[in-house]
Amino acid sequence: MEHTPPPFFVRGPAPLVRLAFFASLALTLLVLDARFRYAENLRSVLSLAAYPLQQAARLPVAVVESVTGYFTSQSQLREENEELRARLLASAQGAQRYEAAAAEVSHLRRLIGAAERSERKSMPAEILYTGRDPFSRKVILDRGTQHGARAGSPVVDEVGVIGQLTRAHAFVSEVTLLTDKDQAVPVQVVRNGLRAIAFGGGASGMLELRYMAANADLENGDRLVTSGIDGTYPPGLPVASVVRVERDASYTFARVLAQPSAGVERGRYALVLSSEARLPPYPEEAAERKSAKKARPRKKDADGS
Amino acid sequence: MGPDRPQTILLPVRAGTIATSFAGALLLDFLPWPDLALAPDFVALTLAFWCVRQPRLVGLATAWTLGLLVDAGNGVLLGQHALAYSVLAFCAIALSRRILWFENWGQMLHVLLLLEGAQLVSLGVRLATGAEFPGWSLFAGPLAATALWPVVSWLLLMPQRRPIAIDENRPL
């Protein structure tokens, strides 16, 4: 006769079986996400589920801010107002000069037949929180696809580039900061126009210019701006300034470290620039297309003959 | 719950308490922490607590789901925390009968091991996908979380300590 335990002792599958089940499920997801990027839809849904909690977590900060805002004294406000007015005056002058220069540049570009640079739309956003991941440098913004944020857009603050929007969900989006190890920005030295690529330095909070020849013309204090040749970043945004150049004869490349200009790891507000840049297709693609066009009639000829 | 200590008989736990505590832990995790190295992982701590206290109610399925939510909220690889929390929940359930026999310090020692183990699983996943080792400060977060264990267990057991009927003549 078979003995079965009474129903109140039945506890489902053994713990080890459950662990194996859930661990393999997690591992499958990991592989799908890391290797094939199939899990983006699931991620959007989950981020939507986490959204109310994220908003709620912001609430205490917002309350503290509004309370301190309520109790700011008049003198403080006046001081700030004066400072802002002075800054406005200073930047108005700069803006006028910029406008004139932009008009001149577009005129010159038209003269030489180059494509005109289109104005980029920008969208202010607030940094909700930093991602709790010691392995990467990411922040979460409070703008998502519902507000028009798109993955790939550059993100700047009032000084310069802070990163790139790498993942856009419905109401929030992730920004990979410049200092992330996997983030690269094409830059240009203001002094001599030398092009380079700046990679994030990870925890050090610095940028690294890799693959610069040991005799490259770089000095401490050189300002780096985006070169714009990738089509993602608009040209001329400040990125970093060089703080250390190490040249070792035993290495082919110099070791160049740069300090980000913008408040990459601080600040609460950022500007998301739209990444609608119409670039001509890459030379190989264009060549392929041309050869394809040529090839087709030739094929017909071959078939016909 | 030692052998020679007076024990309190607790009320049965309500599912609402557990759900609320997890929501609160997620909320604390999503706070903008100034220093991430020392920020304790509240979800892992709460999960360890309920797995030790209520191994029949909170188990691997809860752990896995919470892990996915944390993954999506932080923008890390999907499944990283799900795996770490599953392992954490499994070990906590396996140790649940043992841990409660210890005083606070003994419990904290066990919890520290559990949380560091979960962190280690996370680290293993990231190293396997090509990340660099971010430094030993990685293991400071679980230390901070362990320090909070007595507070968290006192707080989370509060709803179960209430008397059912209020007796006017009782001294307490």
The CA-based angle B46-B47-B48, given to 5 degrees, is 90
Domain-by-domain residue ranges, chain B? 38-160
Contact yes or no for B58/B50 (Cβ under 8 A): yes
How far apart, in whole angstroms, are the C-alpha atoms of residue B89 and residue A11?
16
Burial class (CB in 10 A: 0-12, 13-18, 19+), B18: buried
Tell me the average pLDDT across B21-27: 92
pTM of the entire structure? 0.77
Contacts of A210 (CB under 8 A, 6+ apart): A197, A199, A253
A14 touches chain B (CB under 8 A): no
Domain-by-domain residue ranges, chain A? 120-276
pLDDT grade for B155, boundaries at 50, 70 and 90: very high
Whether residues B28 and A25 touch (CB distance < 8 A) is answered with no
Which residues of chain A have a CB within 8 Å of the CB of B117?
none
How far apart, in whole angstroms, are the C-alpha atoms of residue B105 and residue A235?
59
Whether residues A53 and B30 touch (CB distance < 8 A) is answered with yes
Contact yes or no for A163/A180 (Cβ under 8 A): yes
DSSP bridge partners of B38: none
- CATH number for the domain running over A120-276: 2.40.10.340
Closest Cα in chain A, distance from residue B64 (Å): 7
Contact yes or no for B71/B30 (Cβ under 8 A): no
- B83-138, pLDDT tens digit by residue? 999 999 999 999 998 998 998 899 999 999 999 999 999 999 989 988 888 888 88
- A121-144, pLDDT tens digit by residue? 888 898 888 877 878 888 888 888
pLDDT of residue A235: 85
Burial class (CB in 10 A: 0-12, 13-18, 19+), A232: middle
> Could you tell me the CA-to-CA distances from B52 to A80, A126, B101, B116, B150 in Å, in that order?
54, 39, 11, 16, 13
Contact yes or no for B94/B56 (Cβ under 8 A): no
pLDDT of residue A298: 47
β pairing state of A154-156 and A161-168: antiparallel
From chain B residues 19-38, the ones with a CB under 8 A of any chain A CB are 23, 26-33, 36-37
Residue of B nearest to A131 (CA): B74
Asked if the model's pLDDT at residue B150 lies above 80, the reply is yes
Q: Please state the separation of Cα A43 from the chain's center in Å.
A: 19
Residue type, A174: E
Structure tokens at A249: 């004869």
Find which of B28, B57, B58, B86 to mutate to test the A interface (most A CBs within 10 Å of its CB).
B86
pLDDT grade for B18, boundaries at 50, 70 and 90: very high
Tell me the average pLDDT across B22-48: 86
B154 φ, ψ (degrees, to nearest 5): -65, -45
Residue of B nearest to A173 (CA): B75
Tokens 């070169």 belong to residue: A227
A63 touches chain B (CB under 8 A): no
- B66-78, pLDDT tens digit by residue? 999 998 888 888 8
Find which of A28, A44, A53, A180 to mutate to test the B interface (most B CBs within 10 Å of its CB).
A53
Structure tokens at A147: 């507000």
pLDDT of residue B68: 92
In 3-state terms, what secondary structure has residue A10? Answer: coil
Asked if the model's pLDDT at residue B166 lies above 80, the reply is no
Can you give A118-150 as a three-state secondary structure string? CCCCEEEEEEEEECCCCCCCEEEECCCHHHCCC
Structure tokens at B120: 């280690």
Query: The complex's ipTM?
Result: 0.83
Residue type, B128: A
Name the residue among B67, B74, B94 with its Cβ closest to that of A133. B74
pLDDT of residue B110: 95
Residue of A nearest to B64 (CA): A22
Structure tokens at A68: 């301190």
* Closest-CA residue to B75 (of A180, A154, A61): A180
* Closest-CA residue to A253 (of A226, A216, A218): A216
pLDDT of residue A242: 92
How far apart, in whole angstroms, are the C-alpha atoms of residue B10 and residue B162?
8
A119 φ, ψ (degrees, to nearest 5): -70, 140
B142 touches chain A (CB under 8 A): no
Which residues of chain B have a CB within 8 Å of the CB of A39?
78
Structure tokens at A252: 């082919």
DSSP states of B84-127 as a string?
HHHHHHHHHHHHHHHHTTS-HHHHHHHHHHHHHHHHHHHHHHHH
Structure tokens at A89: 């005056």
All residue ranges of chain A with pLDDT < 70 are 1-2, 5, 7-10, 114-119, 276-282, 285-305
Q: Please state the separation of Cα A135 from the chain's center in Å.
A: 16
What percent of chain B is modeled with pLDDT above 70?
Answer: 90
Which residues of chain B have a CB within 8 Å of the CB of A16?
90
CB pairs A-B closer than 8 Å:
137
DSSP states of A25-59 as a string?
HHHHHHHIIIII--THHHHHHHHHHHHHHHHHHHH
How far apart, in whole angstroms, are the C-alpha atoms of residue B149 and residue A140?
29
How far apart, in whole angstroms, are the C-alpha atoms of residue A143 and residue A266?
18
In 3-state terms, what secondary structure has residue A200? Answer: strand
Asked if the model's pLDDT at residue B170 lies above 70, the reply is no
Q: pLDDT: is B46 or A203 the higher one?
A: B46
How far apart, in whole angstroms, are the C-alpha atoms of residue A134 and residue B134?
6
